[in-house]
């Protein structure tokens, strides 16, 4: 199947990133969110990022204008459903995602493929709640989308070959690299990454090391570009906990139990960079460890 138009549901960091790379590849994109404010904020942030690229001579002004012109912010579900592919990029909550697909269903064309950017939830289960499980895929982009090369492709049990090939061709056209994961909790990247972050939180919780010493140890001792706690703040501590809960419930192994300290930070609303506080406090000129 040939893709010409793509709809993206969710104008957060992931959604606007997906919209950007699709528009850069020449696709017409409809970007949806529940509020006009979120759409305005997303488009304003995109303009700022692209302007910086122009100033650094990494993008021409004509290309910047073309990217922005190909993204149409809209709250109209009928406009969304007319696309060849709809990519859901809402928060990592199964009830929210299922509700979106249910609301979208009456507006979909018979040919439309549905995809979820979920980072851990069952593709088979999400697909089963739609009217087209054979045309449903997991297409998991990494954050930040414009920078990261990898996209995980996850087939549900009913996903047909044509849908898989169409999504794989999309990834290639976006200039990214696909890996294929079986439909198990956390897929590949987060099955490995998030437990590492959770273990780092346990090391902090047990007093083995401070925030600064843990991150410095992994940057200098394991050559990681970011320490695990710094990375957790970048991902969002709420997202990290949500994924750990999916792993814990789906795999029934106590080694995936979310660290109580990580849960406490989330309960406090300290989700990381996006709210100004997490394992670091970002409200000043320089991030300061909170422990």
Q: What's the rounded Cα separation, in Å, for the pair 14 and 37?
A: 17
| Set 152, 181, 198, 230: catalytic member | 152
| Set 32, 116, 117, 119: catalytic member | 119
Q: Is 107 a known active-site residue? A: no
**Residue 259 DSSP label:** P
Instruction: Look up residue 123 and give its two tokens.
Output: 């593709």
Instruction: Look up residue 202 and give its two tokens.
Output: 């346990």
Q: What's the rounded Cα separation, in Å, for the pair 93 and 7?
A: 20
| Set 98, 120, 140, 198: catalytic member | 140
| Set 181, 190, 198, 230: catalytic member | 190
**Residue 134 DSSP label:** G
How many alpha carbons lie under 13 Å from residue 223 in its C-beta half-sphere?
0
236 Rama class: left (phi>0) / alpha (psi -120 to 50) / beta? left
Q: Are 183 and 124 in contact (CB under 8 A)?
A: yes
Q: Is 119 a known active-site residue? A: yes
Q: Is 32 a known active-site residue? A: no
Name the pairing type of β-strands 136-141 and 150-155. Answer: antiparallel
Q: Is 169 a known active-site residue? A: no
Task: State the catalytic residues.
Answer: 119, 140, 152, 190
């Amino acid at each position: 199947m040939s893709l010409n138009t793509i709809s993206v549901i969710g104008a957060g960091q992931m959604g606007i990133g997906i919209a950007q790379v699709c528009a850069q590849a020449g696709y017409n994109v409809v970007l949806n969110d529940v509020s006009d404010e979120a759409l305005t904020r997303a488009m304003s942030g995109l303009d700022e990022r692209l302007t910086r690229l122009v100033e650094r001579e990494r993008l021409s002004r004509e290309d910047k204008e073309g990217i922005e012109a190909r993204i149409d912010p809209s709250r109209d579900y009928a406009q969304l459903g007319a696309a060849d592919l709809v990519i859901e990029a809402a928060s990592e909550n199964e009830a929210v995602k299922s509700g979106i697909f249910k609301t979208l269903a009456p507006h979909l064309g018979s040919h439309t493929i549905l995809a979820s950017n979920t980072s851990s939830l069952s593709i088979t289960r999400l697909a089963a709640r739609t009217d087209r499980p054979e045309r449903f895929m997991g297409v998991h982009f990494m954050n930040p989308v414009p920078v990261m090369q990898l996209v995980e492709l996850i087939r549900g049990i009913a996903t047909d070959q044509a849908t898989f090939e169409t999504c794989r061709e999309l990834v290639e056209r976006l200039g990214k690299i696909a890996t294929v994961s079986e439909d198990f909790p956390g897929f590949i990247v987060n099955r490995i990454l998030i437990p590492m972050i959770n273990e780092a939180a346990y090391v902090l919780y047990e007093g083995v090391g401070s925030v600064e010493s843990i991150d410095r140890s992994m940057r200098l001792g394991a050559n990681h570009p970011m320490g695990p706690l710094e990375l957790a703040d970048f991902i969002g501590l709420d997202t990290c906990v949500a994924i750990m809960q999916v792993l814990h419930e789906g795999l029934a192994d106590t080694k995936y139990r979310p660290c109580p300290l990580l849960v406490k930070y989330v309960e406090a609303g300290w989700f990381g960079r996006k709210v100004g506080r997490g394992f670091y406090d970002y409200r000043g000129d320089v991030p300061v460890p909170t422990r």
